[in-house]
Amino acid sequence: METIEQLRKALPRYPEVRETLELYIALLEARARANPPPPPPLPPGVAEGGLARGEPLLDAVTLMPDWSDLARVFSQICAVAAAHRPAEADTFHALAGMADDLEKLREVVAEHLANTAHPARRSASAATREATLLDFALNQALHPFLNAYTRAWQPLVNAETWYRSWCPICGGPADMAALLPGGGARRLLCARCDAEWQAPRGACPFCGETTPGRLAYTASEDGVYRLYTCDTCRRYLKTIDLRERAHPVHLPAERVLTVGMDLMAISSGYQSV
């Protein structure tokens, strides 16, 4: 609910992206009606062993949502997206039909989770507009269920040893980052479950590129925001420099408030996660 509050407060300050803020407020309200079951406890040694091998804790096999509840949330997400994106309403209405077939929904969820930053799980997916919108709807619908695992399992992750480019909980990529006070360490925010973890600043968080000439960033006029880009994988990462902020920020809200940075990056030929 904190993210919803932050976005509502921001509406008067960001009239240029009001439609986007209203869309995400409606999506977050739909997500808040999910009822994810408590994640099961992990057997002793499973978390430590898997994380030491660079394996995230959650995948399509260990994910155990209430599939009927997930189907309901997915249908609501599609309805919200259709209402706020009239040009794509027909596609979202068609996608909502998956909620009536739980077996089909299981299949597309497994495929969605396989398309991840974790290299052992990554699979190719069709870059069609329908596939993109399906990923969007699944990402929104799955969030409360994945986030339940994050809240339960994040304490199992040793922040001093996990420096991978993918999320330690669900294996997803980052779509937002913060540079922390006291040295500027980079903290990543998972696009799928909102887990947070640290990663090296000198490497692309998606492909691992470290060549200085392939990496760059553009800073906002006030120095608070940075748009990091990689010319090897053509991905970008939005970042807020907390060394330049006098008050705390809520990263899940910042990913929406910085939508202008997404547009700038995409217009320059870079891809989102």
Residue range 249-272, pLDDT digits in tens: 899 999 999 999 999 999 999 998
Q: What is the mean pLDDT of the chain?
A: 92
Q: Virtual CA dihedral for 5, 167, 125, 265, nearest 10 degrees?
A: 60
Please report which confidence band the pLDDT of residue 124 belongs to, taking 50, 70 and 90 as the band edges: low
Tell me the per-residue pLDDT of 40-49, one tens digit each, with 9 for 90 and over: 888 878 889 9
Q: Virtual CA dihedral for 171, 226, 268, 210, nearest 10 degrees?
A: -60
State the sign of the Cα–Cα–Cα–Cα dihedral 255, 60, 166, 156.
positive
Say whether both 133 and 199 belong to one domain.
no
Q: Is residue 238 part of a domain?
A: yes
Tell me the per-residue pLDDT of 67-83, one tens digit each, with 9 for 90 and over: 999 999 999 999 999 99
Q: SS3 of 106, please?
A: helix
Q: How crowded is residue 188: how many other Cβ atoms within 10 Å of its Cβ?
A: 24
Q: Is residue 9 part of a domain?
A: no
- Paired tokens of 127: 């870059």
State residue 84 phi and psi, 5-degree precision. -95, -15
Report the pLDDT value the prediction gives residue 160, as an integer from 0 to 100: 83
> Which amino acid, residue 56?
P
**CA separation (Å) from 150 to 27, 192, 197, 218?**
20, 10, 11, 31
Percentage of the residues of the chain whose pLDDT score is greater than 70:
96
Report the pLDDT value the prediction gives residue 161, as an integer from 0 to 100: 85
- Paired tokens of 81: 């997206």
Say whether both 209 and 181 belong to one domain.
yes
Domain boundary among 127, 156, 185: 156
Report the pLDDT value the prediction gives residue 106, as an integer from 0 to 100: 95
* Pairing state between β 174-179 and 236-241: parallel
**pTM exceeds 0.85:** yes
State residue 210 phi and psi, 5-degree precision. -125, -5
> Max Cα separation, the chain?
51
Is residue 88 over pLDDT 90?
Answer: yes
Tell me the per-residue pLDDT of 200-211, one tens digit each, with 9 for 90 and over: 989 999 999 999
Say whether both 260 and 199 belong to one domain.
yes
Give the mean pLDDT of 88-103. 96
Say whether both 58 and 113 belong to one domain.
yes
Report the pLDDT value the prediction gives residue 175, as an integer from 0 to 100: 95
Report the pLDDT value the prediction gives residue 248, as an integer from 0 to 100: 82
Q: Is residue 1 part of a domain?
A: no
Is residue 117 over pLDDT 70?
Answer: no
Q: Checking phi first, is residue 179 left (phi over 0); if not, alpha (psi -120 to 50) or beta?
A: beta
**Residue that is written with structure tokens 């939005």 in the block:** 238
8 Å CB contact between 209 and 237 = no
Report the pLDDT value the prediction gives residue 59, as an integer from 0 to 100: 87
Query: What domain range is 245 assigned to?
Result: 174-267
Say whether both 135 and 40 belong to one domain.
yes
Say whether both 85 and 138 belong to one domain.
yes
Say whether both 151 and 41 belong to one domain.
yes
Q: CA angle, 196 as apex, 25 and 263 as ends, to 5°?
A: 50
Tell me the per-residue pLDDT of 21-59, one tens digit each, with 9 for 90 and over: 999 999 999 999 999 999 988 887 888 999 999 999 998
Q: How many domains does the chain have?
A: 2
Report the pLDDT value the prediction gives residue 118, as an integer from 0 to 100: 73
Say whether both 39 and 148 belong to one domain.
yes
Domain boundary among 128, 156, 184: 156
